[in-house]
């Protein structure tokens, strides 16, 4: 099919040439026998204007040109007299490729995001979702480009796994067993010997453990794939199926890791500003008036590097000064998102990388600090070299750590936490055979997209969201 994409048509200046454009009708209006159609083909947020004299077209065909209909238009490219667009198409022939009934769910403007979620299969045709999806694509390209240019290898880790990397136990099971006729042993436990893999398996919550095997062989790798968490969190920040980017690098320490996190995120934000200008301007106007300023702000700021213990001190001081929080924040507690957002949005007003968390609130693989912190004059429990990157509007966008490279210390943690050893032998081999200092992090792709688009709900930055009680489309 010979066609010019709208994005290219709007840039052409060879006025008078023949042109064919195809796309979906955003709107149609008429005045004094002349019709104007705004046509969009998804290549850009911008529409191309189609102009024609009603007298030259069949009335029956013109009636079919309704919002959402799909057209193929032949005509002449002309300079547009209208403001805000260089060129338009003077139609000589219009073919309606697909009519669109008036029950088209994206008919009206100004529908709520909740309404659009219920029609998520069609919301991709709207300006907002078009912009978000183009930015999502661009962020994926930015990520691959960043790592490729920095010498990381794209490494594929399995989606089906027998280990629970984060130890959080929020996994979706994978089985071919007949659920109506489950065989159990004498203790009442399900027997998996006859299951597809001969053992209990689940969808992965993280590719990190296999990623560590890659990094301790190739030096630096990254994963970029879907991950699955059956946590029943109905929040605007959680999905049951989300995409994660997990770089893992040999021979780095905590400072190197934080440098990498900051450099990487800034690279992605800069990419968006440089490559997604039209879409960002649209979102800045329609969704979040502070968006572009916030993105530019992140590039200018140096991220704050904040010890967890110091963070608790700041929060407790704020409470003493009258700041109210819903959840407590004593030393040893996991920070709630309200605490993270206080530090980032009110106290520092810039991104924060928090480090040296209490061991007991973090995963088993994090490197244990040599010295215990002192808080309120007392020595506290051990901390680990974990890093969470906290962002305005989002909260935690990255979670990472330096990994415990000592076999004995790692074993100690595994035993203390009662992690089933028999599933972990292959991971422990990284510490038995040429163990090395290494670390990495996980970036939640949709949280990055939330930040870069200014959208408020994580369900609106992935084409087909999966959340508790929702697997439609
Ligand atoms: O902090 P998390 O759980 O870290 C890990 O999984 C490590 N294995 C990463 C690593 O060191 N290689 O998750 C990493 C990031 C979070 O910071 C958050 O951005 C995102 O993944 N994330 C989610 N995003 C959407 N929905 C959820 N349910 C998410 N859970 C985590
Ligand atoms: Mg985390």
Cα 421 to Cα 201: distance, rounded to the nearest angstrom? 15
Residues sharing a CB contact under 8 Å with residue 150, sequence separation 6 or more, in sequence order:
220
pLDDT of 163 = 84
For ligand 1, say whether the CB of 208 is within 6 Å of any of its atoms: yes
User: What is the percent of the chain where pLDDT is above 90?
Assistant: 92
CA angle 423, 441, 274 (to 5 degrees): 145
- Environment class of 458 (CB within 10 Å of its CB; exposed 0-12, middle 13-18, buried 19+): buried
For ligand 1, say whether the CB of 459 is within 6 Å of any of its atoms: no
DSSP 441: E
Report CA dihedral (134, 139, 145, 147) to the nearest 10 degrees: -160
Tell me the CA–centroid distance for residue 399 and ligand 2, in Å: 4
Ligand 1 atom with minimal separation from the 205 CA: 6
Ligand nearest to the CA of 441: 1
For ligand 1, say whether the CB of 69 is within 6 Å of any of its atoms: no
Cβ distance 132 to 449 under 8 Å? yes
31's enclosing H/E stretch is strand 18-31
Cα 86 to Cα 46: distance, rounded to the nearest angstrom? 12
62 band by pLDDT with thresholds 50, 70 and 90 = very high
Ligand 1 atom with minimal separation from the 389 CA: 17
pLDDT of 137 = 98
Ligand 1 atom with minimal separation from the 394 CA: 19
Ligand 1 atom with minimal separation from the 211 CA: 12
Q: Which of 168, 236, 442 to mutate to test the pocket of ligand 1 (most atoms within 8 A of CB)?
A: 442
Checking if the pLDDT of 427 tops 90, the result is yes
Atom 17 of ligand 1: nearest residue by CA position: 398
pLDDT tens string 81-97? 887 788 999 999 999 99
Atom 28 of ligand 1: nearest residue by CA position: 238
Least confident of 16-20, 400-404, 418-422: 418-422
Checking if the pLDDT of 203 tops 90, the result is yes
Q: Which residue has the higher pLDDT, 128 or 233?
A: 128
Cα 259 to Cα 256: distance, rounded to the nearest angstrom? 5
Q: Which residues are close to ligand 2, an ion, with C-beta < 5 A?
A: 399
Cβ distance 359 to 368 under 8 Å? yes
Checking if the pLDDT of 286 tops 90, the result is yes
For residue 270 the two structure tokens come to: 């800069």
Ligand 1 atom with minimal separation from the 439 CA: 11
Domains within the chain, CATH numbers bracketed = 6-98 (2.40.50.140), 127-170+205-460 (3.30.930.10)
Ligand nearest to the CA of 385: 1
Residues sharing a CB contact under 8 Å with residue 172, sequence separation 6 or more, in sequence order:
202, 203, 228, 230, 240
Ligand 1 atom with minimal separation from the 246 CA: 12
pLDDT tens string 139-192? 999 999 999 999 999 999 999 999 877 777 689 999 999 999 898 999 999 999
pLDDT of 107 = 85
Across residues 34-51, what is the average pLDDT?
97
pLDDT of 424 = 87
Tell me the CA–centroid distance for residue 388 and ligand 2, in Å: 7
**Reported pTM:** 0.96
Cα 304 to Cα 392: distance, rounded to the nearest angstrom? 12
Tell me the CA–centroid distance for residue 208 and ligand 1, in Å: 11
Residues sharing a CB contact under 8 Å with residue 432, sequence separation 6 or more, in sequence order:
407
User: For every residue of 404-420, which 3-state class applies, written as one string?
Assistant: CCCHHHHHHHHHHCCCC
Least confident of 300-314, 414-428, 431-445: 414-428
For ligand 1, say whether the CB of 212 is within 6 Å of any of its atoms: no
For residue 203 the two structure tokens come to: 């969808």
For residue 387 the two structure tokens come to: 């890093």
Ligand 1 atom with minimal separation from the 240 CA: 28
C-alpha torsion sign, points 447, 280, 148, 261: negative
Give one DSSP letter per residue of 222-269, joined into a string: EEEEEEE------STT--SEEEEEEEEEES--HHHHHHHHHHHHHHHH
- Environment class of 380 (CB within 10 Å of its CB; exposed 0-12, middle 13-18, buried 19+): middle
| Chain CA centroid to CA 164, Å | 22
Cα 138 to Cα 143: distance, rounded to the nearest angstrom? 9
pLDDT tens string 104-154? 999 877 899 999 999 999 999 999 999 999 999 999 999 999 999 999 999
pLDDT of 196 = 96
For ligand 1, say whether the CB of 446 is within 6 Å of any of its atoms: yes
Cα 391 to Cα 397: distance, rounded to the nearest angstrom? 6
18's enclosing H/E stretch is strand 18-31
Across residues 330-334, what is the average pLDDT?
95
Q: Identify which of 117, 41, 126, 204 has the alpha carbon closest to the alpha carbon of residue 462.
A: 117
For ligand 1, say whether the CB of 241 is within 6 Å of any of its atoms: no
pLDDT tens string 382-403? 999 999 999 998 999 999 999 9
Cβ distance 344 to 354 under 8 Å? no
Indicate the average pLDDT of the chain: 95
Report CA dihedral (345, 351, 353, 354) to the nearest 10 degrees: 0
Cα 146 to Cα 142: distance, rounded to the nearest angstrom? 6
User: What is the percent of the chain where pLDDT is above 70?
Assistant: 100
450 band by pLDDT with thresholds 50, 70 and 90 = very high
For ligand 1, say whether the CB of 157 is within 6 Å of any of its atoms: no
Q: Identify which of 79, 139, 413 has the alpha carbon closest to the alpha carbon of residue 276.
A: 139
């Amino acid at each position: 099919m010979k066609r010019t994409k709208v994005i290219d048509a709007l840039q052409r200046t060879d006025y008078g040439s023949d042109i064919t454009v195809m796309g979906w009708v955003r709107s149609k209006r008429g005045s004094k026998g002349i019709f104007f159609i705004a046509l969009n083909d998804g290549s850009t947020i911008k529409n191309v204007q189609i102009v024609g004299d009603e007298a030259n077209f069949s009335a029956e065909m013109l009636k079919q040109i309704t919002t959402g209909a799909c057209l193929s238009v032949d005509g002449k490219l002309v300079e547009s007299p209208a403001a805000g667009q260089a060129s338009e198409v003077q139609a000589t022939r219009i073919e309606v490729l697909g009519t669109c009934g008036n029950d088209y769910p994206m008919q009206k403007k100004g529908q709520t995001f909740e309404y659009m979620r219920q029609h998520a299969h069609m919301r991709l045709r709207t300006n907002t979702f078009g912009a978000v999806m183009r930015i999502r694509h661009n962020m994926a390209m930015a990520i691959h480009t960043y790592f490729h240019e920095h010498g990381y290898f794209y490494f594929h880790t399995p989606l089906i796994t027998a280990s629970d990397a984060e130890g959080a136990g929020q996994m979706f099971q994978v089985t071919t067993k007949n659920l109506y006729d489950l065989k159990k042993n004498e203790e009442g436990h399900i027997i998996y010997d006859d299951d597809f893999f001969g053992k209990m398996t689940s969808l992965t919550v993280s590719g990190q453990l296999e990623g560590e095997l890659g990094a301790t062989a190739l030096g630096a790798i990254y994963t970029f794939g879907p991950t699955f968490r059956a946590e029943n969190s109905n929040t605007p920040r959680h999905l049951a199926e989300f995409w994660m980017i997990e770089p893992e690098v040999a021979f780095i320490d905590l400072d190197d890791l934080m440098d990498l996190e900051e450099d990487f995120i800034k690279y992605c934000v800069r990419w968006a500003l440089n490559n997604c200008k039209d879409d960002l301007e649209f979102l800045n106007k329609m969704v979040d008036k502070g968006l572009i300023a916030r993105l530019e702000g992140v590039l200018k700021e140096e991220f704050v590097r904040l010890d967890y213990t110091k963070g608790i001190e700041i929060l407790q001081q704020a409470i003493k000064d009258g700041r109210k929080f819903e959840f407590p924040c004593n030393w040893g507690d996991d920070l709630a998102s309200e605490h993270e957002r206080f530090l980032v949005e009110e106290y520092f007003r810039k991104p924060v990388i928090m480090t040296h968390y209490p061991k007991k609130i973090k995963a088993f693989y994090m490197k244990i600090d040599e010295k215990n912190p002192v808080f309120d004059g007392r020595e506290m429990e051990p901390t680990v070299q974990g890093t969470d990157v906290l962002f305005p509007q989002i909260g935690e966008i990255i979670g990472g750590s330096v990994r415990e490279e000592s076999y004995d210390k790692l074993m100690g943690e595994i035993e203390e936490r009662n992690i089933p050893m028999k599933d972990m032998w292959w991971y422990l081999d990284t510490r038995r055979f040429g163990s090395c200092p290494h670390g990495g992090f996980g970036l939640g792709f949709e949280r990055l997209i939330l930040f870069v688009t200014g959208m408020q709900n994580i369900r609106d930055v992935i084409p087909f969201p999966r959340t508790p009680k929702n697997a439609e489309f």
